[in-house]
Amino acid sequence: MAPVAIARMTYAEYLAFEAAGDTKHEYLNGEVFAMAGGTITHGALAMAVGTALSNALRDRLCRVLSSDVRVRSKVTGLTTYADVTVVCQKIEVTDDDP
């Protein structure tokens, strides 16, 4: 079953919406999608994957980020809180990011 958008808004409106709430949402092409909560198993798996990636990339200039960090893909436009994100380039922080 495909996710159903809960709202349509601009990216600036999405950022304000995220800042005002306690629930995480994804943003893509003007649509906002609620993110499901995780389970203990899911959280443990994400932590194990993050740890394995961090260990494997120890000698490289890469960062492994958790789902606490909101990331936005320049390629797809998707903004999300991925379980694990690997960035091997300079991290770009924009004015609309805290």
The total number of structural domains in the chain stands at 1
45-95 pLDDT, tens digit per residue, is 999 999 999 999 999 999 999 999 999 998 999 999 999 999 998 888 876
Domain residue limits at 79: 7-87
Q: Is 95 a domain residue?
A: no
14-43 pLDDT, tens digit per residue, is 999 999 988 899 999 999 999 888 899 999
> For position 58, which CATH number holds?
3.90.1570.10
Q: Is 23 a domain residue?
A: yes
Rounded Cα distance between 72 and 46, Å, is 19
Identify whether the C-beta of residue 88 lies closer than 8 Å to the C-beta of residue 60: yes
pTM for this entry: 0.82
